[in-house]
Structure 1
């Protein structure tokens, strides 16, 4: 994230932090001072406001599907768009974005994912649930599954694969073959075991009946503002929903899996 800047125009998008959008009806009818209204006229949707240091009023909102934060000066004549740091270099903006935008949005996404078309990988009684968008052709999804294997084998985590088909022409047919098979778990395992050799063989009969399920998952992924696989949702130690887009580094796995490596 960039440091706080006093100029609006080009800093607007670069100051925005990647996540999904959230808007609350309570702000729909509120009247804003001109400095804030100019941002709204340019496409910013205000989600919430809060008291900020220096007598300023902070705002978090969304622009083009990306969270944005900005600050209204005490004289209410200027807005400063971007990230606020204190004298110790601490980021004061990110926690507010997490609390007021990303946190509620991730909770909403979690509830939606529970109803999505996914394949359970691991013990149904495993206490930790992790959702991940998986493309059958995605090498990073494959590596993520390999990294998660110790937790899955130990019965500590159930990895719920939301199957999508976005990377290659045969991604959707493969995903549909997995979702529509008599035993999706075995089909998923087959794709994992044969990943380096092209993965699961496509069954056209299954695909014709189940392609719509994959397309629905594709649409869900897009609606959440995600553009990479794997994209993974998990609960942190405080019970808050977090999202990791792209491949997880080894040091991130304990947090995603909810415990140290078995």
Structure 2
């Protein structure tokens, strides 16, 4: 029997969009009556867009839909190992949930099996615009192009550091120190903890932290992450850490920071680039080692000293 892990970190699946373009609208609700989930010949299930009468049957679904989210049922009880999977989309925000058998409670997250296979990705891949990848041509300055397929797995990626170098980020630490890219949701507790863990390395001149804001925790904080991330993207690189500290103290975006017209586009581009390097949750770190190889990892490792020692200047 396979062992299943519901990841506590959330994976965000952005819509397909070209650089500088607006988000594509959510798919239209089909005019034909919904059908029951049916397995395809390959064993993949067809997602079903849930109607109001379906949602009203479950307190958990009503909570998920309460902020205007559109919901699809994904997978079936066999592929989801006894749970009912749903995919919720509200504007730029995406989230997957797994409902308990009584439909009273939900667990937000992504389902992985013991071999590290992403069960959730398989079940949502048939929803248009959910799974993006970015084609990156080394040596070209054009923004990455979104194409269909699977994003790269976590681990070693030849161009991960180059992709992050083209993102919108803030700089914290001594210029010329080894640079570590950290993809964060400004209101994610684990992102905040990672910042605290790296503080001494920044203070001692051993690390320059490149902070890449994204927003994946809107469902957890009443949609406060997106304006917070946009506030961070609306000021200069060296001022970003100060704004993030204000956000941490206030638990929302500062009222005295005016969002720029480009902050929304910058946020979306950061999301695309984060998925290019295999985003699974926040924080995700990316670095170039001393041999010139890029790496990406979910969260901080247990031995931060060894990590910093191996980061290239």
In the superposition, the TM-score normalised over structure 2's length comes to 0.46
2:295 paired residue number: 242
Distance 1:195 1:204 in 2: 14
1:198 paired residue number: 251
Among 170, 179, 187, the residue aligned to 1:119: 170
Among 211, 214, 219, the residue aligned to 1:164: 214
Q: Does 1:110 align with 2:164?
A: no
Among 157, 168, 175, the residue aligned to 2:229: 175
Kindly state the Cα deviation for residue 203 of structure 1 after the two structures are TM-superposed: 5.7
Kindly state the Cα deviation for residue 202 of structure 1 after the two structures are TM-superposed: 4.8
Compare relative contact order (CA 8 Å, sep 6+) and give the higher one, 1 or 2: 2
The answer to which structure has the higher helix fraction is 1
1:227 paired residue number: 280
Distance 2:175 2:161 in 1: 18
Contact 2:247 2:254 in 1 (8 A): no
How does 1:66-145 map onto structure 2 within 5 Å? 102-103=155-156, 106-126=157-177, 128-145=178-195
1:153 paired residue number: 203
Kindly state the Cα deviation for residue 170 of structure 1 after the two structures are TM-superposed: 2.2
Contact 2:231 2:263 in 1 (8 A): yes
After superposition, what is the alpha-carbon deviation per residue over 1:117-148, rounded to whole angstroms, capped at 9, x for unaligned? 1111111121x110110111111111111111
In the superposition, the TM-score normalised over structure 1's length comes to 0.54
How many residue pairs align between the two structures?
A: 167
Which secondary structure does the structure 2 equivalent of 1:131 belong to? strand
Query: Considering only CA atoms, is the larger Rg found in Structure 1 or Structure 2?
Result: 1
* Change in 2 beyond 3 A, CA 1:130/1:145: same
* Change in 2 beyond 3 A, CA 1:194/1:216: closer
After superposition, what is the alpha-carbon deviation per residue over 1:51-102, rounded to whole angstroms, capped at 9, x for unaligned? xxxxxxxxxxxx95466xxxxxxxxxxxxxxxxxxxxxxxxxxxxxx9xxx5
Which secondary structure does the structure 1 equivalent of 2:287 belong to? strand
* Change in 2 beyond 3 A, CA 1:122/1:223: same
The unaligned stretches of length 5 or more in structure 2 are: 3-42, 44-78, 80-112, 119-148
Contact 1:137 1:195 in 2 (8 A): yes
Q: Which runs of 4+ in 1 moved over 4 A?
A: 13-18, 63-67, 202-205, 236-239
Distance 2:252 2:305 in 1: 28
Distance 1:204 1:221 in 2: 25
